[in-house]
Homo-oligomer: A and B are copies of this chain.
Amino acid sequence: MDQRIQNLRKEVDRINRQLLALLSERGRIVSEIGRVQTELGIDHYDPKREEEMLAYLSAENPGPFPSDTIRRLFKEIFKASLDLEERQDKQKFLY
């Protein structure tokens, strides 16, 4: 394996770990938002809020990923977050 690729892959591994930590932190905060919404009887899904986040992220995107790609990646994160909130509600009703 080329030494340059090996070194660059170490950088990618470092970023992967940071991404995992940030995604997990985001998951914990979204769970908390989900709990407050359930307490208040508010829907978890908020398309206006999602569109505002996507518009902001597209506008601030420095590249090299095209903004379409950034939108697609964040939509997957939003979907995973909604799944988390909904699973949490179901678990609540089990007890």
B19 touches A23 (CB 8 A): yes
Residue contacts A-B, CB under 8 angstroms, 8 given? A5-B37, A11-B29, A12-B29, A15-B22, A15-B29, A19-B19, A24-B63, A24-B65
B76 touches A72 (CB 8 A): yes
B80 touches A73 (CB 8 A): yes
Contacts A65-B84, A80-B69 hold; do A30 and B12 have CB atoms under 8 A apart? yes
Residues of A within 8 A of B (CB): 2, 4-5, 8-9, 11-13, 15-33, 36-37, 40, 42, 49, 53, 56-57, 60-65, 69-70, 72-74, 76-77, 80, 83-84
A69 touches B49 (CB 8 A): no
Contacts A22-B22, A36-B2, A83-B69 hold; do A28 and B64 have CB atoms under 8 A apart? yes
